[in-house]
A and B are shown apart, each in its own frame.
Chain A
Amino acid sequence: MPERNRVLSRRAFVGRVLVFGGAGAALLGACSPPAPAAPSKPAETKPVESKPAAPAEAAKPVETKPAAPAQAGKAARLDMILFDGGWTPSLKIMLDAYKAEQGVEVVWDNPPLSGFYQKQLSLMLAKERKPDIISSNDTILSQYAGSGLIEPLDEMLANKSLAGDDYAWDEFAEQTRKAASWSKELGQQGQVYGLPFELATWGYFYRTDLIDRPPETFDEYVEISKKFTRSLNPSSPTPFGATAHAKQLPPQYKEWYAWMWSYGGELFDEKLNPTFNSDRAVTSLADFYGLLLNHKAMPPDTATYSDTEKSAAFQNEVVPHVMHWAHQASVYLDKEKSPKIADKVKYTMVPGMKGADGKLTRVPYAQQWMLGVNPNSQNKPEAFKFIAWLTSPKGMRAWVEAGWNSPPRPSALNDAGFKAKHPSFAITEEAIKIGRYGPGYLKEYAQIADSKLLPALSQVMAGSQTPKQALDSVADEAREILKSADY
């Protein structure tokens, strides 16, 4: 859709609100004396923000711009929105380095995670020009792309004066590139909307003094969990055998996916029919949450456990093992942070399931964070130049040297020096090959997962619905949502 149309229709939306506003004000004015002036306030301020100049400029072919901009001085300041994460200290070092090298200051707006998605979305919907750089992940990127809230990067990526000579986009694993792209047409490669800077995968952490051999399959995982539950086995050294992230936040479904996928379940089939209520998927959830519901092998308030509680349970010998982000290794192996377990912890790939042919399938969830460009930004080329600099092979190496522990570039992950410093890189490297992301091709995925799947999983954990009931009803709702989207 042409840029101009968008702005006009947005204005129409606001306009409609204001027409209502006028009527409402008149009504209110009739009964309370000092009313009328009020709603005209938004009328005065609203159009200013539509900035008629912006769309025309934005509609210009992107290639024409780079000639001018790359020179320092055009934009001495870029704005970026991204919440504080494990990347914070090292990313700050990188921002300073960019300023020293390019003379461009990147001002980082870091709302707390609890307000981040809301703020970023509000900024996008309000068509704010700032921030220039926005962030996304494998769950939400397709929604942003499918809603026209984020800029496609292909042309800038092909432009060596912006991306640099050695950006090496193809170095990223195929899955990584897929998760960074979105296409309107199903099954197409589509356009790139984000440059990856974080890749986090799941690992399996266990106490070597209790567990001799890490489980290969989830069946073994369940058996171990039961063995270390005191109500099932009075001689168990730990009160409970397992925990889960069951608070209603995205890691809840990401943890389940590792089960679901290795049981042979899928989220959707090629025709976009929801299949997460298939027998295999239902069985995987029944086995997973059955640890709490049937065996009482998880702490009773696991329903509100997040990563924080999961870690604390493992660190305090409440559970003998935990499935967690691989980069947590830096916490569990640290004597100061985990004094009780640090010298007894080992970690490996998450368990999987054996198929009929006896082949073991392990499918850890791989999570990817990316930086992208705001389509309403006045400094798109400069913004792209920065994120390309940051995520280039060279930038990524510098970033890891500054302390970053979850780079997505294989060249950083398989560097022997880095591996010695970050043992979790070995798992991540492996997981890039076998792990999976959410179905990034589907722009409705975030909506279905966050607003429907999360409460449903929570219902199961609360025991108020069976896995079958809960997943069936999510599948119905998902079908409804996809139907209205006309695929």
Chain B
Amino acid sequence: MASPGASMRRSSRQRWLTAASWLIAAACVGNVFPIYWMAATSLKSEADIHTYPPKFIFPITLDNYAQLFGQANFLQPFENSLAVAVGSTVGSVVLGSMAAYALGRFKVGGRLFPMWILAMRMFPPIVLALPIFFLISGAGLLNSRLALTAVYLMLNLPFVIWLMRGFFMEIPLALEEAAWIDGCSRWQAMVQVVLPLARPGLAVTSIFVFIASWNEFLLAAVLTGPETRTAPVAAAQFSGEYGILWGPMMAAGTVIVLPMLAAAMLVQRYIVRGLALGAVKG
């Protein structure tokens, strides 16, 4: 391969192309199939769900969705998830960006401090389960959306700080200096000059943080109560002691994932562009 002739190069290219197309095709099918299967299951009757061989063509029923939004009142958990995910995303992106700006521009804490923050990301949530419960219980905030929002905010901070720090470091310092000379305070310079330039980065970061908060289960299962249950927890309620109610459970899974997918389709072009602007250098 070291000194390929023209024809050899073409054939090796050909092989690469074939391999690449297979990889792409397999990735597309493999990625989508479980979600497709979940959605398909949610539209089946109970007998069709349990039957083998599995049915690909079946009479569509909306019973599972009726049960989900009727008896199980899934709108409320959905709303809770939305509130918690939006709250923690906004909170962690705002606080994280502030810290990231200071870390990236002013080197607060030298090199070690940012590393400590990054290391926080490795803290497995299960290690936190019991102590965080006591912390929240002590603050009298059990079963509240506020507590869960705060916990997610914390869990996401390291990620936000690291991603945003990369974005800020890519923005030329000269722009802020010009603003400072024009009489802007540090804060004004950041808000008026730097943040608009970091918008793609903010968007990408927000997306990832939102996904993480939207899908978290372990802590939500113990920190939420009847009125504040989030959507993944409410979905897991269909998995009981004597079996799983597949229909409503898969309907819940579909309802949880669909708005995310729709949103992601709209912004997917910006994900690569946003990441390219800084995250990859962080």
| Chains A and B touch each other in the complex, with CB atoms below 8 Å apart | yes
List residues of chain A with CB under 8 Å of any chain B CB. 14, 31-33, 42, 45-46, 48-49, 83-86, 89, 107-115, 118-119, 122-123, 125-126, 128, 306-308, 311-312, 315-316, 318, 325, 327-328, 336-340
Contact status B237-A110, CB under 8 Å: yes
Given A33-B108, A48-B138, A115-B236, A110:B226 Cβ within 8 A: yes
The reply to whether the CB of B135 lies closer than 8 angstroms to some CB of chain A is: yes
A-side contacts of B218, CB under 8 Å:
115
Instruction: Tell me, rounded to whole Å, the shortest Cβ–Cβ distance linking B73 to chain A.
Output: 11
Interface of B toward A, CB cutoff 8 Å: 45-47, 50-52, 71, 108-109, 112-113, 116, 129-130, 133-135, 137-140, 142-143, 218, 221-222, 225-226, 229, 233, 236-244
**Minimum C-beta distance from A356 to chain B (A):** 37
Query: Can you show 26 pairs from A to B with CB atoms below 8 A apart?
Result: A32-B109, A48-B138, A49-B138, A49-B139, A83-B240, A85-B242, A86-B240, A107-B226, A111-B229, A111-B237, A112-B237, A112-B239, A119-B221, A122-B129, A123-B137, A123-B142, A126-B137, A306-B243, A311-B243, A315-B50, A316-B50, A328-B242, A336-B46, A337-B47, A337-B50, A338-B47
Identify which of A31, A83, A111 contacts B222 (C-beta below 8 A): A111
Q: How far is the CA of A49 from the CA of B239 in the complex (A)?
A: 33
Q: What residues of A have a CB within 8 angstroms of the CB of B50 in the complex?
A: 311-312, 315-316, 337-338
Please name the residue on chain A nearest to B137 by beta carbon: A126
The reply to whether B237 and A108 form a contact with Cβ atoms under 8 Å apart is no
* A307 close to B239 (CB less than 8 A): no
Let me know if B221 and A115 touch, CB within 8 A: yes
Beyond known contacts A308-B243, A316-B52, A338-B50: 18 more, CB 8 A cutoff:
A31-B112, A33-B108, A33-B109, A42-B135, A49-B137, A83-B240, A85-B240, A85-B242, A89-B71, A111-B229, A114-B221, A115-B221, A126-B133, A128-B142, A306-B243, A325-B242, A339-B51, A340-B51
Cα distance A168–B25 when bound, in Å? 68
Other-chain contact of B233, A32, A112, A118, A125 (Cβ < 8 Å):
A112
Whether the Cβ atoms of A109 and B221 lie closer than 8 Å is no
Q: Given the known A-B contacts A110-B237, A336-B47, are A122 and B222 also in contact in the complex, defined by CB atoms under 8 Å?
A: yes
- Cβ of A103 to closest chain B Cβ, rounded Å: 20
- A116 and chain B: residue at smallest CB distance: B221
Distance between Cα atoms of A107 and B140 in the complex (Å): 18
* Chain B min CB distance to A461 (Å): 20
Interfacial chain B residues near A306, Cβ < 8 Å = 243
Q: Given A45-B138, A126-B134, A316-B52, check contact A118 B239 (CB 8 Å).
A: no
Q: Is the CB of A307 within 8 A of B52?
A: no
Contact A108 B226 (CB under 8 A): yes
Q: Is the CB of B221 within 8 A of A307?
A: no
Distance in angstroms between the alpha carbons of A118 and B129 in the assembled complex: 9
Chain A residues with CB under 8 A of B139? 45, 49
Q: What residues on A are CB-neighbors of B108 within 8 Å?
A: 33
Q: Judge whether A49 and B140 touch: CB under 8 Å.
A: yes
Q: A32, B113: Cβ atoms under 8 Å?
A: yes
Closest chain A residue, CB of each to CB of B236? A112
Chain A residue, CB-CB nearest to B133: A122
**Chain B hits for A14, CB < 8 A:** 134, 138
Docked-complex contact B233 and A111, CB < 8 angstroms: yes
Verify A122–B130 contact, CB threshold 8 A: yes
Chain A nearest CB: distance from B155 CB in Å? 16
**Interfacial chain A residues near B71, Cβ < 8 Å:** 89
Residue of A whose beta carbon sits closest to that of B141? A45
- Bound state CA distance, A45 and B108, in angstroms? 30
Q: How far is the CB of A2 from chain B (nearest CB, A)?
A: 23
Q: Given the complex of chains A and B, what is the CA–CA distance between A308 and B229 in angstroms?
A: 25
Q: When the two chains form the complex, which single residue of A45, A114, A119, A325 contacts B239, counting CB atoms closer than 8 Å? A: A114
